[in-house]
Amino acid sequence: MTEPDRGDDAASRLFGNRFLTEDAPDNEFPSTGMESRDAMRLLDEDLALEGDPQRNLATFVTTWMEPEADRIIAENLYRNFIDHAEYPITAEIEQRCIRMLADLFHAPGETTGARTQGSSEAIMLGALSLKWKWRKRREADDKATDKPNLIFGGDVHVVWEKFCRYFDVEPRIVPLRENKYVIGPEDVEPHLDENTIGVAAVLGTTFTGHTDDIVGIDKLLVDLKGEKGLDVPLHIDAASGGFVWPFLYPDSEWDFRLEQVRSINVSGHKFGLVYPGIGWLIFRETSDLAEDLVFYENYLGKTDATFTLNFSTGASMVLAQYYNFVRFGREGYTYIMKAMQQNARALADKLESGGDFELIGADREQLPLVAFKLVAGKNYDEFDVAWQLSAERGWMVPAYTMPPNAQEVKIMRALAKETLSREQVDRLSDDIAQACSTLEKKGGAHPAERKQIKTGTGY
């Protein structure tokens, strides 16, 4: 039988894909297109080499949702969240989420807030509100407004420094030191003055998952108000902790139960258990939102009051957040957070009892994660362990140095997320022990391997 002569193009259309034997378009805007199936496979096959989210214990961000939530998300991808006139129900669902969060965070009465792209946008808006409220107070007293400052610890996320640089505010950063990775009132007090627009405290730090002494800082600010008449607001960066503390430590006060806490940000896409990107900014009272931040615009026939840094964005994640709220309620979130905490503790016990590691603050209130470091006297370090573990089994467990002045301290951190089952905890701890035993024999990573080690905290 003779073979049909289809020509190269026809044959590749029938049996293969153009990109199988050609480089993927990367530099120039492609002059021609390709079959939709080819484009899909090109992407699929490229992405197959990405890190596996199941083994990504670095990120705080959600990597799995229920199939029903996936369906809601997929069905609403076309919906532009900002089109309030066309999609009023979506806008109302955002407001429901804001009211529910205000309730969760013990707001004393009616208040306001916004959906954002994540905690970073929420922090930019919240901190701008601090700055502009401070400016208004100063202007009312006929005082200078050219030297605003903001106080926070070295344990904050980089977004706080970013805010200060973008919006011309002096950052007053309290340095950390060995064995002190959060801040308290004694650290804040020396930096306070009449130009302080606010203090930012973290609930669940990116580095060790602990919390600043929010009760202590609040008391300092309440006393300051009473004694000197200086009203310095406290903003809580609860990017991770805002969906953990209410369920794991409901009696710990960090939110609007404390008088000087005027605004809170939280990432829906972290422990709110929604995919990226969704965040929330919630004010204690409507009057805590600086008026100047609000834009009233007549858009497509409806007057809309908005305060966001973005305009168009997808509605899916707002809907997915509401899905989680009604699907889980307090009971469900508590169950899930406790399950994560139990698995984090199981992993911590194994790491500690193995003898290679010591835990960092596992006896304190902490996000469901394990922060740990090698015991003294090893011939390899935490970066080597992260490298060896990823080389042997593909686990992504970050190693990093702490911020100044604790930069000599190296630590590792593993998130125990919803997708990390107990079976996997056992496997991970065995794999970590195995990586250590390989390093024991070979004595640290090769300099060429060291160059490839990723040193970020993972977000």
Ligand X SMILES: Cc1ncc(COP(=O)(O)O)c(C=O)c1O
CB 339 within 8 A of CB 418: yes
Nearer to ligand X, 198 or 444 (CB): 198
Least distance between ligand X and beta carbon 127 (Å): 12
Least distance between ligand X and beta carbon 188 (Å): 17
Instruction: Pick one of 94, 187, 237, 356: the residue that binds ligand X (CB under 6 A).
Output: 237
Nearest to 364 by CA among 284, 266, 245, 282: 245
Total residues binding ligand X (CB under 6 A): 14
Which residue type, as a one-letter code, is found at position 43?
L
CB 384 within 8 A of CB 439: yes
Site for ligand X in 275-334 (CB under 6 A): 279
Instruction: Pick one of 84, 157, 172, 235: the residue that binds ligand X (CB under 6 A).
Output: 157
**CA 8 and chain centroid, separation:** 49
240 binds ligand X (CB under 6 A): yes
245 binds ligand X (CB under 6 A): no
Least distance between ligand X and beta carbon 174 (Å): 15
383 binds ligand X (CB under 6 A): no
373 binds ligand X (CB under 6 A): no
Comparing every residue's Cβ against ligand X, the nearest one is: 118
Instruction: Kindly give, in sequence order, each residue whose CB lies less than 8 Å from that of residue 43, ignoring residues fewer than 6 positions away.
Output: none
246 binds ligand X (CB under 6 A): no
Instruction: Pick one of 90, 112, 267, 316: the residue that binds ligand X (CB under 6 A).
Output: 267
Task: State both tokens at 227.
Answer: 């004694």
Which residue type, as a one-letter code, is found at position 410?
K
Instruction: Pick one of 19, 60, 283, 395: the residue that binds ligand X (CB under 6 A).
Output: 60
Binding mask 83-122 for ligand X (x = CB under 6 A): -----------------------------------xxx--
Least distance between ligand X and beta carbon 106 (Å): 20
Least distance between ligand X and beta carbon 325 (Å): 18
206 binds ligand X (CB under 6 A): yes
Which residue type, as a one-letter code, is found at position 172?
R
Least distance between ligand X and beta carbon 341 (Å): 18
Question: How many C-beta atoms surround the C-beta of residue 210 within 10 A?
Answer: 21
Nearer to ligand X, 120 or 195 (CB): 120
Nearer to ligand X, 237 or 382 (CB): 237
Q: What span, in angstroms and rounded, lies between the C-alpha atoms of 184 and 370?
A: 23
Nearer to ligand X, 360 or 439 (CB): 360
Nearer to ligand X, 40 or 309 (CB): 309
Nearer to ligand X, 19 or 81 (CB): 81
Nearest to 247 by CA among 360, 329, 182, 346: 329
202 binds ligand X (CB under 6 A): yes
CB 87 within 8 A of CB 80: yes
57 binds ligand X (CB under 6 A): no
Least distance between ligand X and beta carbon 150 (Å): 14
Nearer to ligand X, 270 or 350 (CB): 270
459 binds ligand X (CB under 6 A): yes
Judge residue 18's burial from the number of C-beta atoms within 10 Å of its C-beta, 0-12 exposed, 13-18 middle, 19 or more buried.
middle
Residues that bind ligand X (CB under 6 A): 60, 118-120, 157, 159, 202, 206, 237, 239-240, 267, 279, 459
